[in-house]
Structure 1
């Protein structure tokens, strides 16, 4: 399903460019109840050990299994308060105001915030 969505976005972007339209930057997160959420409605988090503006993520390997990164899909571009960081494995991840964004594997449904304050280094991402 993700490949189809990405392909559709690329076709749309190419069509708009060919027609002389500009492609706007992507907003990878939404605001819900005062926090940032992914397109799936799940809460997004920041990690205190990520150096703001460093362009990298400090959560890799087993850490990223528990805290899956909000990945940039092909064709998406940064804008406004969102930027892109490069992970150790070469994949691209969204950052909000310089802080990489993550999901928490133990959140079960939209609105869950069970990762907030985890190990005193994980925080709900807020606009």
Structure 2
């Protein structure tokens, strides 16, 4: 009989503790979840190796003259051939992606402090026609 009473007491205490924790009694509240902002680009694997693409699958490029990591050297007429990967005014860095300000005051994304661009020569996702125009432009790769 004593064993039954002890077993019942253990079960009652275990159940009360579990109920208290799941219903806000006695336990500390968990910290609020912080949402990680979405990445502005992703890596895809190609026959030539991994490359960065925007969220629509369009190939991203870097410009050899962008060397400071703080600004873009492709401005004005250059942006007709190389479209900066736009960032919203309130965009925040996420992982290896940072936000830089352009000469016109707009924001754009950079990968490891290298500004990112798309090429109007690429008509469909996955194309990489932009590298044919000049050797100063390179496909953005995750190992860069």
TM-score range, shorter chain: 0.7 to 0.9
Determine which of 12, 18, 36 is the counterpart of 1:24. Answer: 36
1:74 Cα deviation from its structure 2 partner: 4.5
Write out per-residue CA displacement over residues 53-102 of structure 1, whole angstroms, 9 at most, x where no aligned residue: 2x100001110111010011244321211111110110011000110000
Question: In the alignment, which residue of structure 1 is the partner of 2:91?
Answer: 76
Unaligned runs of 5+ in 1: 1-18
Question: In the alignment, which residue of structure 2 is the partner of 1:8?
Answer: none
Question: In the alignment, which residue of structure 2 is the partner of 1:111?
Answer: 126
Higher Cα Rg: structure 1 or 2?
2
Alpha-carbon RMSD across the aligned residues, in angstroms, is: 1.6
Unaligned runs of 5+ in 2: 1-30
1:117 Cα deviation from its structure 2 partner: 5.1
Distance 1:97 1:117, change over 3 A: farther
What TM-score, normalized by structure 1, do the two folds share? 0.78
Determine which of 47, 56, 80 is the counterpart of 1:40. Answer: 56
Moved over 4 A (4+): none
State the number of aligned residues.
Answer: 108
Alpha carbons 2:98, 2:113 under 8 Å: kept? yes
- 1:46-125 mapped onto 2 (5 Å cutoff): 46-53=62-69, 55-116=70-131, 118-125=133-140
Moved more, 67-76 or 41-50: 67-76
Alpha carbons 1:117, 1:123 under 8 Å: kept? no
Greater RCO, 1 or 2 (C-alpha within 8 Å, sep 6+) = 1
Distance 1:21 1:48 in 2: 39
Question: In the alignment, which residue of structure 1 is the partner of 2:5?
Answer: none
